[in-house]
Structure formats: structure tokens, C-alpha cells
């Protein structure tokens, strides 16, 4: 994605982190920018920044595509808020995150009050109580409390005081299911972190036969010797999969002029790799029916991201292997079974298993690169991309494409 000022283009390094409700449904995504959003306004000149940014569709309609039409949480510095830069974003989906190092003077407080009146949500990020924040506390819609770097006694004290003031609380950096349940019990409303991708139970248990059959078909679909005719037979004898394939092929993502009306036509249009990917995702959606939607979506995005990374290096690696690698990367959380136990039962290559188990080998480096991009760990993104010989300037476009592709497929799969 690019920013245009008439003289140059700039790739937007951006990732998103999910924010959940108490029911583990997606409420919003926080947008994570490389170097922070102030990177887009290097001169901090209100007039020139406004004209430059308004020429970019990213700050208007495309933001809804990046967040899958959910709310966007965006960090703004005190200076950007005082320049009223948040007004360039759509108020109906934008939550303005006020950073923890803010020193609210009269101008800043007036700008925040005006933004709130205009329909923007205000959130206080990495909250630590200071007397000078009282006015902001009263104005804020949401207060974010860091579960990783705040001791539990302090968290309980904040919850007690802030709840009396009617504040809505968001627990951030929630990394385990135990932390999620603790935050639930304390009365938090929203939750941010990667707890959803961790298995709730880490114990040896048998994978049900039906799920095991689906897993084996999905693993076989990634093999070179599993051909289109076999895939077509699988699809044609399942009305549900056939219907989903036609819906997917006629979705707005492809922008087709003519409707695709037959399974044979759909398979020809998608090609062998495309139909294998489609079938794998549909099967994965069946396996994850009782899990948070974001868990499947994260697997699908990572699969497409890994696959696309493989195309950025000439003569490198089979993209189908990378797709399978990404798709299986959350399988322990989906099945609530240790990853070692799952790997013992699947016909996956040694290289894929080594990457999934220990992030080892060439494939493991691709997986670590995808994970680093998703988390907004930009130093690792540059380092790992360079190690793989990938032009890292192409990564933002690859990531945004993976988001759009996953949205189209998830809508088809019924998630």
C-alpha cells in the first residue's frame, strides 16, 4: 500500500492485532505501524500533512478493508492529536489511543473533547494512574491496562477505582488463557493479546476419528501427488463444499465480469494450487467450528502470507508447502492437543514438521517471518526477510493481499 504526494511512493508497514469481547468475538483491531503513525507526518505541518494524507485512500475507505469492517484502534502522539490529525480518519470506526507519556495541557484536552463530541472513541493506552490524568479518565471511553507489565495487586486496585467511575476496561498483552479468565473474573470488557492462539488444555488425548480423517485429507491436499481429479471428486460429492466453492469464486474479491457456474470451471480458473488451498481451508473451518473465529482467520492469513513469501524469492521453495505450513501453525490450539501429538499422526514432510515443532530449518524461517510481521515486530521482519533474500519492501503488499484473500474465503466458509 502506498502513500502519494505527487513525487514519491512509500510502502505502509502495518499489521493488526485483534481485540476481543468477553465471548471471544472480534470487537476491533489495533493497527501497528512501523515507526508509529507519526511516520506519515514527518514535518508535523498540519496543512501539508492534511493535503498529503487526504490524497491516500488508505486513510478513508481502505481502513475498513484492513480491519475487516471492524473498529480500528490507532495510537496518536500528543502532538498529532493537538494538530487534530485523527480527524482525517472516519469517526464511526476509529478509536484514538492516547499514549501513556501524554501531559495533557489545555489545548490537548480541548482537542480530545472536540474529538469525543465528533463521535471518536478515546482510549488511554498502557494506563498508569497520575493525578494529571483525571480529566482524561473522565473523558475516556476505554482504559487499557497492561497485564504483562502490571502486578496483579495494582490491576485489582485500578479495576476497583475505575469501575466505580463507570470506565470500560480493556486488558492488553493477555498471552495465556489463564490470564484471560482472570481478566474475565475481574470484570474487564475487552481483551487484547495472543491468548486465543494458545491451547486451553495441553494434555495427551485422542483426536476424534472424523477430525483425524479431515486432517489427513487436508495434509494430503498439500502433497504434489494429490491431483486435481481426486480433488474434483471430493468436491463434487459434497454439496456444501461445492456451494462454498462457487460462492468463493463469484465473490467480490475476484471482481469477475462473468459468473462461474460449474465446479469444473471453478477448478480450471483456480488451478491446482488454488483448489488445494481452498479445500484445505474449508476443511480447517470444519475442524475449528467451536473455536474463536479469529483463530481460523489467523491460520488462513498466515497460510496465504507464507505462500506468498515463497513467491518473492526466485527458484526458492514450493509455495504449496508454505501454505500448508501456515495453515497448520495453530493446529494445537484448534484441536486442544499438543502439537507433537498431532504431528505424529499426519503425513507431513519432515521439513514442515520441524518448522511447526521448533521453527527450525528453511521453512521455520519463513514461519518466523510471517509471525513477526503479524505481531508488528519490525526489526525481526527486516532481519528475517534479509536472511531469506526477500525484498522486504514487497512485504506490505503481500500482507494486505493475504488479509483480503482471507476475508473472501472466511465469508464463504461461514465464519
Q: For residue 33, what are the β-bridge partners?
A: 14
How high is the pLDDT of residue 53? 43
Length of the chain: 415
- pLDDT digits over 224-268, tens only? 665 667 667 767 766 677 777 788 778 777 766 677 777 778 777
What CATH number does the domain containing 149 carry? 3.20.20.450
Q: Do both 113 and 232 map to the same domain?
A: no
3-state secondary structure 207-271: CCHHHHHHHHHHHHHCCCCCCHHHHHHHHHCCHHHHHHHHHHHCCHHHCCCCCCCCHHHHHHHHH
**What is the pairing mode between strands 142-146 and 94-98?**
unpaired
User: Among 142, 173, 197, which residue terminates a domain?
Assistant: 197
What CATH number does the domain containing 296 carry? 1.10.3210.10
Q: Is 9 exposed, middle or buried (0-12, 13-18, 19+ CB in 10 A)?
A: exposed
How high is the pLDDT of residue 223? 66
Our CA angle for 281, 285, 289, nearest 5°, is: 170
Q: Is the pTM of this model over 0.75?
A: yes
Would the pLDDT of 93 be above 50?
yes
Residue 166 sits in which domain range? 14-197
Q: Do both 161 and 294 map to the same domain?
A: no
Q: Count how many domains the chain has.
A: 2
- Model confidence at 408, pLDDT cuts 50, 70, 90, reads confident
| Alpha carbons 397 and 311: distance in angstroms, whole number | 13
Would the pLDDT of 210 be above 90?
no
> Percent of the chain beyond pLDDT 70?
81
- pLDDT digits over 305-322, tens only? 999 999 887 666 888 889
Q: Do both 176 and 225 map to the same domain?
A: no
Q: Is residue 8 part of a domain?
A: no
- Nearest Cα residue to 328 out of 260, 279, 280, 265: 280
Would the pLDDT of 54 be above 50?
no
Q: Do both 138 and 238 map to the same domain?
A: no
Would the pLDDT of 1 be above 60?
no
Amino acid at each position: 500500500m502506498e502513500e502519494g504526494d505527487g513525487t514519491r511512493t512509500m510502502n505502509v508497514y502495518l499489521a493488526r492485532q485483534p481485540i476481543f469481547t468477553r465471548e471471544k468475538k472480534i470487537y476491533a483491531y489495533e493497527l501497528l505501524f512501523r515507526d508509529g503513525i507519526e511516520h506519515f507526518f514527518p514535518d508535523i505541518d498540519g496543512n501539508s500533512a492534511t493535503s498529503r494524507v487526504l490524497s491516500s485512500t488508505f486513510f478513508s475507505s481502505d481502513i475498513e478493508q484492513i480491519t475487516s469492517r471492524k473498529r480500528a484502534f490507532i495510537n496518536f502522539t500528543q502532538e498529532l492529536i493537538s494538530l487534530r490529525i485523527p480527524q482525517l480518519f472516519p469517526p464511526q470506526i476509529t478509536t484514538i489511543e492516547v499514549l501513556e507519556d501524554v501531559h495533557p495541557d489545555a489545548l490537548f484536552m480541548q482537542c480530545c473533547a472536540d474529538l469525543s463530541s465528533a463521535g471518536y472513541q478515546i482510549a488511554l493506552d498502557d494506563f498508569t494512574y497520575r493525578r494529571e490524568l483525571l480529566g482524561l479518565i473522565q473523558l475516556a471511553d476505554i482504559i487499557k491496562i497492561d497485564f504483562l507489565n502490571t502486578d496483579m495487586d495494582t490491576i485489582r486496585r485500578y479495576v476497583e477505582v475505575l469501575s466505580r467511575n463507570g470506565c470500560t476496561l480493556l486488558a492488553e498483552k493477555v498471552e495465556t488463557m489463564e490470564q484471560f479468565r482472570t481478566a474475565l473474573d475481574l470484570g474487564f470488557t475487552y481483551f487484547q493479546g495472543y491468548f486465543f492462539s494458545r491451547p486451553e488444555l495441553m494434555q495427551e488425548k485422542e483426536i476424534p476419528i472424523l477430525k483425524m480423517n479431515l486432517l489427513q485429507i487436508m495434509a494430503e491436499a498439500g502433497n504434489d501427488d494429490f491431483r486435481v481429479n481426486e480433488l474434483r471428486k471430493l468436491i463434487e460429492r459434497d454439496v456444501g463444499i461445492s456451494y462454498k466453492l462457487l460462492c468463493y469464486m463469484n465473490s467480490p474479491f475476484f471482481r469477475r465480469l462473468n459468473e462461474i457456474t460449474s465446479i469444473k470451471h471453478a477448478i480450471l480458473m483456480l488451478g491446482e494450487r488454488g483448489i488445494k488451498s481452498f479445500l484445505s481451508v474449508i476443511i480447517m473451518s470444519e475442524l475449528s467450528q467451536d473455536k474463536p473465529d479469529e483463530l481460523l482467520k489467523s491460520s488462513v492469513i498466515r497460510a496465504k502470507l507464507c505462500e506468498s513469501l515463497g513467491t518473492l524469492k526466485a527458484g526458492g521453495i514450493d509455495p504449496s508447502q508454505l501454505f500448508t505450513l501456515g495453515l497448520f501453525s495453530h493446529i494445537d490450539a484448534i484441536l486442544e492437543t499438543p502439537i507433537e501429538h498431532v504431528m505424529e499422526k499426519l503425513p507431513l514432510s519432515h521439513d514442515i514438521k520441524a518448522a511447526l515443532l521448533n521453527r527450525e530449518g528453511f521453512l521455520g524461517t519463513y514461519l518466523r517471518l510471517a509471525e513477526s510481521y503479524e505481531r508488528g515486530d519490525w526489526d525481526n521482519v527486516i532481519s528475517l526477510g534479509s536472511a531469506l533474500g526477500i525484498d522486504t519492501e514487497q512485504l506490505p503488499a503481500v500482507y494486505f493481499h493475504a488479509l483480503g484473500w482471507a476475508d473472501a474465503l472466511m465469508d464463504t466458509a461461514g465464519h
